[in-house]
Structure 1
Amino acid sequence: MPVASTYTAPVGFNMAHADEIAKLCYERFNRLPRRGKPEPGREWTLLAAVVQITRCADSDTVEKEVVSLGTGTKCIGQTAMSPKGDILNDSHAEVIARRGCIRYLIQELHRAVSGGTSSVFCPADQRGKWRLRPGVSLLFFTSHTPCGDAAIIPMIDSQSQPCPPVTSVKSHEGTDGRGGQKREAEVPSEGKHVKRPRLEGQETDLCDGGDAKQSLLSNSPKNENPSQSQPAKTPGPSDSAGPHPQVLDVHRTGAKCVSGGPADPLRPGVGYHSTGVLRVKPGRGEPTRSLSCSDKLARWGVLGFQGALLSHYLQEALYFSTVVVGECPYSQEVMQRALVTRCSHVTDLPAGFSVCPPELLQSGLEFPFSQAQTELRHQAGQGRISSCGAAISWCNVPERPLDVTANGYKHGVTKKALGTAGARSLLCKLELFHSFLSVVAATDPEALPDSLRRTELKTYWDFKHASHSYQQAWQQLHSQAFPLWPRSDRHLLLFH
């Protein structure tokens, strides 16, 4: 049963109250089975979720319901990507939550085109098109600032300086043999006294924890602004307890700048990173092809989070009204830069698309399985602390709502089963494509959107590129804001 919360909102109350949203998402996680969850005191993970907000038209009653939840910290390497669309490339929590939401929306759309009642969609003006029901909005929650640009947060004199990320166990836990790469979270929040594992002889697997060797050397008060990057600015009042904080450094992100643009200067202090640039999710060993979660959230603020396939059926793109971040190192200014400012100047978008920045909020509630909380609860004899190898997806669908994966496949699948339907994640491109095709098949031919009336549509690539308005919007975003965003290889999208 879904976890929902119903209450009467007083006048002026923000529906997306951050602590209530965080609590709702953590409760939904707690109700999940044990499978795929971190080992308490030894493993940590990140959590993200999509919350559906429904305001009743005749009252101030608001219902909040988690419709998709995801955990995870890893990506696969580029050589492990499959031309069959049967492997989950990016298993960061934010991506898992968004893809689970797509599963939920496809189900709701299937119900709508089949003549049933959907809690999300109602008919739009154009033939074959649908839109959100009045009073319905969707909110995004993440337990930690997204990796990439949003993680480059100024540190002030009251905060601890950067320190090495928690080590991963050597050999098979650093990479998975198929190119799986870990994500490490930033330094824990200020004021927390954290015990850390021993550092000698360790091998680190890097993402938002930064570079271990550089971090040990970077406790310098020098304020050097790098070339090709914006200087770090002093945080606002919400970022500091002191009246005149001094910015000494920035939190590190392990996400690497995309090729062809500004690189990280790697200077001590605030000169370590370039800011406002596209970044690829990292790891030791083979590179990934996955853009950072900061970049993806910024993209969703222009193109919508529904993707190209659902855009066939939607009169308007779907945007998150709000992004709520759990308790962690946080800067409102940096979140604004990473998720909003980089795309705020984009113009000439087709009908149904707009620059739609979300409201940005932070909760004071920390995820119990965060890296910082795991370090606090770590006991002698438990072994080294590491990120959890599994990724969990739960979404509000009647059939198989839970999907637990590792290394891009179903958790626990044997090598012999790889390549079979039973090994596939329900969130992989192929599975979502087949679910979308079931919606097309269930649609009355007279009610099909014009873009789906072409008989030559066969492959995933064909259906994506037939979504003309979405592709036009993406071209405007690409040319005006993200010219270095890598294009997907066509040979990886020709499955059917």
Structure 2
Amino acid sequence: MSSPYPAGELLAELCLNKFDTLPKTGKPTNKEWTILAGVVQYDENRKESKVVALGAGTKCIGRSKLCSGGLILNDSHAEVLARRALLRYFYAELRKAIENKLSIFQWNAEKLFFTLKRELSFHFISTQTPCGDACIEDESCDEESIETPNKKPKLVCDELVQKDFGKTLLNDSEVVYTGAKLIGEHSDLLQQFVGVVRTKPGRGDRTLSMSCSDKLSRWNVLGVQGALLDTLLDKPIYFETLTFCCSRSNEKSIRRAIYGRWLDRQFEHVKYKPQKPLIHICDNTKFKYVEDTGKQPSPNGLVWCDIPVNVNPIEISVNGKRQGVTAKKSNSPQAALRTSKYHLLLEYVELLKAKPEFCKKFGITMEKLEILKYNEFKNIAEEYQNAWGKVKSDYFQQWTSKPQHLQTFSIVTQKTDKTNL
């Protein structure tokens, strides 16, 4: 099937070339490797592509280090960092729209929401297969079982793991280790079942972050914009294509992980619709810092987005915090990346201040903007939250829940010294 979008190789080369132009700081040394993920924006009218977000990283913090102030990035895998960079880009473009500058968004004064220009689409690229289900190759899952919704897939439910999905247990000779861990009671948490959800591994202290296969699958249903931005947009934003620059990537396994494992559990919603993005495998596109057993994974996370240089488009993180922060400020907003929950909430509140129409629409006063808690803002996205609840029930019954107190911070929870931001 021909694609209306640029070839995966071209999209991947754009991301790798953009990464090469970034400063050396934060990149792996000659003895280190990392994973790079990126997002390309394509303008169908102009036939132009440009990289708008990049993320590089392999780390994830354990549950004991989770931050109640929204200051630490729990998950610094490349795919997640790239998506967070994309959110920051969206916020910058929304500010442009409010200021009547050239933007990817247009304001609808009658219906009180922003609309993405219809000629624009977004495309995801990664130098490695996403951890989790996409790493497993299962020959019993043929093309027809993935692509035909009316025929029950071969990934049927096994009574031994009834609470999860796609339960074909691999034979001993076929056991695959994906870098993600099973949820629940298992003799070997790294042994894999086809189609199930998993958490990312952590050294000693287990994480609560879901695998990248599961997160990509979630975004494939609800969109990449998340709950906060969903309240400002008319519809979700999806990745139209997914490109993987890894010779070990298996297209059939990736399609199964992103949408195929759910085809016998149809999700019906007016606004949110499961997608079938085009999958590209680029064997010939080589990343300089590809995983190497003779090297160590880089301890750094790197985030870049297409915003002006004067607002710091590049950030380097270590253990989910901004690199170089002093011990004295390690638990303050100065330690947080601009892609952290805290700063993205700050961006959201600033948009509401600039568009008071939203406050009236949401039934909140301007005075409450800085004291409302993060979870209260997310609950404004009632339609999104209801859909997410149904998606979890239908697809992700074992999706981890983080402690509630981690969601109850506000932008005045911590006092911000803006001169240091």
CA-CA distance at 1:327 after TM superposition: 2.2
How far apart in 1 are the matches of 2:188 and 2:408?
39
Which residue in 2 is equivalent to 1:143? 127
How far apart in 2 are the matches of 1:479 and 1:453?
29
The 1:451–1:288 alpha-carbon spacing in structure 2 relative to 1, beyond 3 Å, is: farther
CA-CA distance at 1:366 after TM superposition: 2.2
Which residue in 2 is equivalent to 1:410? 322
How far apart in 2 are the matches of 1:470 and 1:422?
31
Task: Say which SS state the counterpart of residue 234 (structure 2) adopts.
Answer: coil
Which of 373, 377, 384 is matched with 1:459 structurally?
373
CA-CA distance at 1:371 after TM superposition: 1.2
What are the equivalent positions in structure 2 for 1:63-102 lying under 5 Å apart? Answer: 63-102=48-87
The 1:258–1:125 alpha-carbon spacing in structure 2 relative to 1, beyond 3 Å, is: farther
- 2:199 matched to 1:280? yes
Deviations 1:156-175 (A, max 9, x none): xxxxxxxxxxxxxxxxxxxx
How far apart in 2 are the matches of 1:112 and 1:315?
15
How far apart in 2 are the matches of 1:12 and 1:483?
36
How far apart in 2 are the matches of 1:451 and 1:293?
34
Deviations 1:5-45 (A, max 9, x none): xxxxxx956523111111111001000000111112x1000
Moved over 6 A (4+): 264-267
Which residue in 1 is equivalent to 2:288? 368
* One-letter amino acid of the counterpart of residue 377, structure 2: F
Deviations 1:222-250 (A, max 9, x none): xxx997532569xxxxxxxxxxxxx9635
The 1:322–1:473 alpha-carbon spacing in structure 2 relative to 1, beyond 3 Å, is: same
The 1:266–1:490 alpha-carbon spacing in structure 2 relative to 1, beyond 3 Å, is: closer
- 2:299 matched to 1:389? yes
How far apart in 2 are the matches of 1:55 and 1:396?
19
How far apart in 2 are the matches of 1:112 and 1:259?
46
Which residue in 2 is equivalent to 1:483? 397
What are the equivalent positions in structure 2 for 1:62-461 lying under 5 Å apart? Answer: 62-118=47-103, 120-124=104-108, 127-153=111-137, 229-230=167-168, 249=174, 251-259=176-184, 263=186, 272-344=191-263, 345-349=265-269, 351-364=270-283, 365-372=285-292, 385-398=295-308, 399-443=311-355, 445=356, 447-448=357-358, 452-455=362-365, 458-461=372-375
How far apart in 1 are the matches of 2:67 and 2:79?
21
Task: Say which SS state the counterpart of residue 302 (structure 2) adopts.
Answer: strand
Which of 20, 44, 49 is matched with 2:38 structurally?
49
Task: Say which SS state the counterpart of residue 473 (structure 1) adopts.
Answer: helix
* One-letter amino acid of the counterpart of residue 168, structure 2: Q
CA-CA distance at 1:117 after TM superposition: 2.6
Aligned residues: 379
CA-CA distance at 1:55 after TM superposition: 1.1
The answer to whether the 8 A contact 2:137-2:253 is kept is yes
The answer to whether the 8 A contact 2:176-2:192 is kept is no
The answer to whether the 8 A contact 1:392-1:405 is kept is yes
Which of 29, 32, 38 is matched with 1:39 structurally?
29
How far apart in 1 are the matches of 2:109 and 2:187?
48
How far apart in 2 are the matches of 1:106 and 1:418?
26
* One-letter amino acid of the counterpart of residue 288, structure 1: T
CA-CA distance at 1:89 after TM superposition: 0.8
The answer to whether the 8 A contact 2:129-2:246 is kept is no
Which residue in 1 is equivalent to 2:146? none
Deviations 1:332-388 (A, max 9, x none): 111111111234433232x3211122111111212110014xx5xxxxxxxx62000
How far apart in 2 are the matches of 1:264 and 1:417?
42
CA-CA distance at 1:116 after TM superposition: 2.5
How far apart in 1 are the matches of 2:101 and 2:211?
38
Task: Say which SS state the counterpart of residue 69 (structure 1) adopts.
Answer: strand
Between stretches 416-425 and 83-92, larger displacement belongs to 416-425
- 2:9 matched to 1:19? yes
Deviations 1:294-328 (A, max 9, x none): 00000001111100000011111111101110123
* One-letter amino acid of the counterpart of residue 416, structure 1: K
The answer to whether the 8 A contact 1:153-1:250 is kept is no
Deviations 1:61-109 (A, max 9, x none): 4111110000000011111111111111110000000000000001111
More helix by proportion, 1 or 2? Answer: 2
The answer to whether the 8 A contact 2:122-2:238 is kept is yes
Deviations 1:95-148 (A, max 9, x none): 000000000001111211233331x21235862112220210001111100001
How far apart in 2 are the matches of 1:126 and 1:490?
36
* TM-score, normalised by the number of residues in structure 1: 0.72
Question: Any gaps of 5 or more consecutive residues in structure 1?
Answer: 1-10, 156-224, 234-246, 376-383
How far apart in 2 are the matches of 1:285 and 1:126?
53
Task: Say which SS state the counterpart of residue 94 (structure 2) adopts.
Answer: helix
The answer to whether the 8 A contact 1:395-1:402 is kept is yes
Taking only aligned residues, the RMSD between alpha carbons, in angstroms, comes to 2.5
Question: Any gaps of 5 or more consecutive residues in structure 2?
Answer: 140-157, 162-166, 411-421
The answer to whether the 8 A contact 1:145-1:328 is kept is no
Specify the structure having the higher radius of gyration (Cα): 1
